Amino acid sequence: MTPDFKISQPVATQLHWVGEGHKTFFLPDGVSISCPGKVSVGTSFTAANWLVKASEMQQLLVNYDECGDFSALTLELLYL
C-alpha cells in the first residue's frame, strides 16, 4: 500500500529469509511471515515482509521493551 492508500498489484516471488529459531510461513501474493520460537526481551525481529513490485519490498519490524511488553511496530520500505 502506498502512502496515498493505493494498493499495488502483487508480484510473484520466491522469498527465502530464515532467522535462527524462526518458523517462516509463505503466503500467496509474495507475503512471508517469520515467527521466532522465543521473543528476546529488548530486541526487535522481522515479523513479515512482502514484495510490492520487483524492486520494492516492505517489511514490519516488531519490538519488545526490557519488560517484555510490546513497544513498537515499524514499517520499512526497501528499494533496489
pTM of the model: 0.54
Q: Is the predicted pLDDT of residue 1 greater than 50, yes or no?
A: yes
Compute the distance between CA of residue 27 and CA of residue 23 in angstroms, rounded to an integer. Answer: 13
pLDDT tens string 14-71: 544 555 677 778 887 778 777 777 777 777 777 778 878 878 888 888 888 888 788 8
Binned at pLDDT 50, 70 and 90, residue 2 comes out as: low
Specify the 3-state DSSP secondary structure of 19.
Answer: coil
- Site of grid cell 514484495: 51
Q: Based on C-alpha coordinates, what's the Rg of the chain?
A: 14
Binned at pLDDT 50, 70 and 90, residue 13 comes out as: low
Q: Is the predicted pLDDT of residue 10 greater than 80, yes or no?
A: no
- Site of grid cell 529469509: 17
